[in-house]
Chain A
């Protein structure tokens, strides 16, 4: 086995969530072979990763929301890694922005940080913990919940 490119693209948590949910649906439909010993690793990692991502705000995102968010971020001149972290974590306080954006005191004024927070909170949907903890994340079935 040969690795051609160890970092050809960065994936957001939402993309991985979507991929794993589709994979799970496909395997449910195909029937019996998921319990063979070879598939156990895939089952484990899929289950655990879905469980982890379901607890983050990425669960309720959609491709349109992500596109809108990236267009809105163009004016703030952030690096790809910083935009990805904002997308994955949905910060709600200035402290969180300062952690994710390098040298934020020099690059962003207070008003810019406020504006950034406002954009993040208005475009990205809130996480599951803000929905009165009704999301039982240990459940393997895909929930058809209304976004906040």
Chain B
């Protein structure tokens, strides 16, 4: 589920923090910059693992702060393809079932990946698995809060950095919707026979 990512960055320490140990200041700055944020094509950053190398710190003219190039490793949430995970159902919509892991919410089970046959109950806004046995069909509801086991099928990263001024006029006439896209989404498949045995 979690991987270690090696990164390099330049960290700026303002003068009023010079009395603190450099390592502590740098760790705090890196966590402030990356924790709980998605890095494009890497994953959701959790916390700093360690600092592997500190290069010389420089003070540039006009700015009293020190700039240090840091090589470090960060713990990132990035499940590999076909990994099995257990999460809680957050809700259902016509797009599919939304699952959450607590710290990561943008997981979607599209309708084709649910156990078949499945149908969407409009009245209760919930997906239902119609399980056929000899006695007849049992309806198993995908209720909110239930634990569900799933396999990662696909992931998508969206670059949500702000667009430049030249495209501002083009987008100002369109709706606000594109800005709400999640930077990192997982598309998963519900698992045969194991969905009900989790938890």
- From B80-88, B90-98, B122-130, give the one contacting chain A: B80-88
B42 in contact with A81 (CB, 8 Å): no
Selected interface stretch from B31-39, B107-115, B134-142:
B31-39
B175-199 interface code vs A (CB 8 A; 1 in, 0 out): 0000000000000000101100101
Q: Which of A66-74, A95-103, A110-118, A139-147 contacts B (4 or more CB under 8 A)?
A: A95-103
Give Cα A81 to B83, complex, Å: 8
The CA-CA distance from A9 to B1 in the complex, in Å, is 11
A to B contact number (C-beta, < 8 Å)? 113
Closest B-chain residue to A45, C-beta based? B36
Which of A6, A7, A42 is within 8 Å of B47, CB to CB? A42
**Chain A residue nearest to B7 in the complex (CB):** A3
Chain A residues near B84: list those with CB within 8 A.
Answer: 85, 89, 99-100
A126 to chain B, nearest CB (A): 14
Q: For the complex, what is the distance from the CA of A10 to the CA of B79, rounded to whole Å?
A: 10
A45–B3 contact, CB under 8 A? no
Question: Which of chain A's residues 24-62 have a Cβ closer than 8 Å to chain B?
Answer: 33, 38-39, 41-42, 44-46, 48-49, 51-52, 56
Q: What residues on A are CB-neighbors of B119 within 8 Å?
A: none
A75 within 8 A of B: no
Beta-carbon contact of A88 and B6 below 8 Å: no
A8 CA to B186 CA, complexed, in Å: 21
Interface centre among A4, A13, A81 (most CB of B within 10 A): A4
Q: Flag if A45 contacts B42 (CB, 8 Å).
A: no
B47 touches A2 (CB 8 A): no
Q: Check if B9 is an interface residue, CB within 8 A of chain A.
A: yes
- Range of interface residues on chain A? 35 or more
Q: Which residues of B contact A100 (CB under 8 A)?
A: 84
Q: Does B13 contact A (CB under 8 A)?
A: no
**Contact A52 to B2, CB < 8 A, known contacts A19-B75, A42-B32, A99-B84:** no
Q: Which residue of B lies closest to A2 (CB)?
A: B8
| A85–B1 alpha-carbon span in the complex (Å) | 9
Contacts of B197 in A (CB 8 A): 93, 95-96
A148 interface residue per 8 A CB criterion: no
- Across the interface, A1 reaches (CB within 8 A) one of B8, B31, B83, namely B8
In the complex formed, the residue of A with least CB distance to B50 is A19
B15 to chain A, nearest CB (A): 17
Q: Are B71 and A51 in contact (CB under 8 A)?
A: no
Which residues of the other chain, A, contact B82 by a CB distance below 8 angstroms? Answer: 102
Contacts of B86 in A (CB 8 A): 56, 89
A16 and B46 form a contact (CB under 8 A): yes
Contact B2 A13 (CB under 8 A): yes
| Any A CB within 8 A of the CB of B16 | no
Complex Cα gap A126–B73 (Å)? 31
Q: Is the CB of A1 within 8 A of B32?
A: no
Q: Does B58 contact A (CB under 8 A)?
A: no
Q: Cβ of A42: which chain B residues have Cβ within 8 Å of it? A: 31-32, 35-36, 47
Q: Report yes or no: B7 in contact with A9, Cβ–Cβ below 8 A.
A: no
A-B contact pairs, 5 of them (CB 8 A): A1-B9, A3-B6, A6-B41, A8-B73, A45-B46
Q: Which 5 A-B pairs have the closest CB atoms?
A: A48-B103, A45-B36, A41-B36, A42-B35, A38-B32
